[in-house]
Amino acid sequence: MTAFSLDPARLAWCAELRELAARRLRPLAGKGGPGRVDRPLLAELGSLGLLSRLFASGALDLCLMRESLARVCTEAETALALQGLGAHPVHAHGTGAQRARWLPRVADGTAVAAFALSEPGAGSDAAALSLTAEPAAGAAPGRGWRLSGEKCWISNAPDADFYTVFARTTPGAGARGVTAFLVPADRPGLTGSRLDMLSPHPIGALAFDAVPVTADDVLGEVDRGFRVAMGTLNLFRPSVGAFAVGMAQAALDATLAHTARRDAFGGKLRDLQSVAHQVAEMALRTEAARLMVYAAATAYDDGDADVPRRAAMAKLLATETAQYVVDRAVQLHGARALQRGHLLEHLYREVRAPRVYEGASEVQRGIIAKELYGNLEDR
């Protein structure tokens, strides 16, 4: 299989995912309430075996899951993706005890995971984290800490059952002084609040007031947590692109149907060249983004050295494309697309956030440029 075509088995699987999303998942969307984790939806994702595939599949299959679900039910896609983002560091870097305690519950949808990296003063500049992990009084060196500070814009907060938290263990060391911790939500001193955001999924803030953690809570190695964060993002950035491609395709599908049946100026909307050319452009950009996402995911699965560049390119192109396609779809639908509850009204609110989270578009351009110039210097 190449990065530019899918074999029949994968195509059939994608069709099956879309059918399951329509029949089993979409009816549960919104059951958790506005801004809250939808636990019935998570439980259904678990019963269908989709959450367990987060830990058994490669990057391409993750992208196919996210794209397929997003075309039908963005709520299901986001619930699945956030479980993966929060739990992947445990899967990839956790101890046997950490994995045994949490991963089965993540897979069946009974434990909610969250990835706590961003802070009020450190969003795109992840190496500038200020959440401090100070040595606990009486603990042996490297065995116990107290976490103090804030995290902000954390998906699934404050409803998650555990958080992958990135904290500064060595002051002044930049990216080299960050450690990843697995922090259960019931730790003393950990509190959270909800944020009222444009995106229709749960996002909150966390406050750490001398929250105790020990060496048993470390994910990976002390002072090597930045690698945990970047490794997770390199896997999930192409799949953010897949989420965007799924939304773009949903908007394109709706636009094709609408322009084919809508009467206008003595014919159908599709008969107007200005309309048909816009639809063609929407399709062109969506397919180009899809191919770049598949190529980046395949590079990740193959262990290629240029994964950071490819992942950044895929995330950047796909999220910017989805914004364009959804916006064009709204324009071609007219006022009906602005009504609360319309598919495109929903997609319009959903599509804006991916250009910001897991590295804003400007950050992706910075990564791409850094990789390009770094390769030049290595020659």
Residue 77 pairs in a beta bridge with none
**C-alpha distances in Å from residue 156, one per residue of 31, 185, 239, 291, 302:** 15, 12, 18, 30, 31
How far apart (Å, rounded) are the C-alpha atoms in residues 15 and 46? 19
Q: Is 358 in the active site?
A: yes
How far apart (Å, rounded) are the C-alpha atoms in residues 78 and 66? 8
Cis peptide before 202 (omega within 30 of 0): no
Token duo for residue 131: 């959440």
Beta pairing class for 178-184 and 218-219: antiparallel
Residue 38 pairs in a beta bridge with none
- Mapped onto helix, strand or coil, the DSSP state of residue 364 is helix
Whether the Cβ atoms of residue 178 and residue 229 lie closer than 8 Å to each other: yes
User: Which of 189, 85, 89 shows the shortest CA–CA distance to 133?
Assistant: 189
User: Which of 133, 224, 198 shows the shortest CA–CA distance to 352?
Assistant: 198
* Rg of the chain on CA atoms, in Å: 21
Helix-, strand-, coil-residue percentages of the chain, each rounded to 5: 60, 15, 25
Q: Which of 67, 75, 77, 358 does the annotation list as catalytic?
A: 358
In which element (H, E) is residue 299 found?
Answer: helix 273-301
Active site residues: 358
